[in-house]
Structure 1
């Protein structure tokens, strides 16, 4: 008999401020998020260094200046090493520093989120139903449920909406309007996989594992 797999998602935010810039590709103002990677350019004995940001919609890049035209022998060796290694700690420290810059905000709907996934209970049978419990160790204000589901399942928000309209999603509390509401700690969502053509992909994305068997009892749905 197909069974239920219980998964816990722990949602955290990087809380790194984002510059709001006119994106050349989108042709409108967008939030740009730090990529965590640096660009280092040598011009003779002088160095330029930037932290690379990406548009949260289209991935267009913007380079934030760390220093320009700096003589190589004046650059701290530890700083140079961090830039060359794309040191995560230094990237985070740089992204959090908004000194002297006015075009920054928390990012609104584009705030940097991460979802850590853990299987809370094993399922000996093929999985037909997912039970996802959302946990937020620290409050993440105004983050909609559909955004977190889209991120955790690796699909678009319109795909999440389609699952809900097709009766594939259930919520606690039970109204489908939960999708548009801010996520709350302890929110539970049930996703019916049985019969979905992309069930295996959704299961792998939701659980963070690729070797859990999925039920194929019903005919695939478009």
Structure 2
């Protein structure tokens, strides 16, 4: 048995594209959340529209090229026609879409917030379960390190996180946490309760001694 929590990562914007503008000195384009559709007989071209962050010059990133209209589901086609923002974000975050367009994203430009409930030390101390379990909900991937999320949600310093890693106390999908691990939707983080409690207790003890 284990106590289970959920950490939700909300992105505030889509990643900028690293692209040199032909009309100014800018090297970044932002997603407009709008699509352009151009039908020719039975074929259709569909692009996701980007704008230069400085002069607003347009760049069209290909979503579909010369595709039969019947090859697109009615639901998706309606969402494309209606400039559905959620769908635009899916393509803007899509590695595959960028790969097909030979485009590079500035993933550091993505701002985010983490929604989580703080876990009081008293709750950890009183817990009888061996493991604490945290499920990650993050619909978009943007190279966010899982170690950053763990530090934020558990209010840990870098040294404390390193101690937990060295103590082999943190697991992701039953494997020991690697610092380079990037957040993926559905990641399950499990932390050994006693090892976490020991490290947090040492930190509190140190703070008390420092105050005295």
* TM-score normalised to structure 2 length: 0.43
Instruction: Point out the structure with the larger helix share.
Output: 2
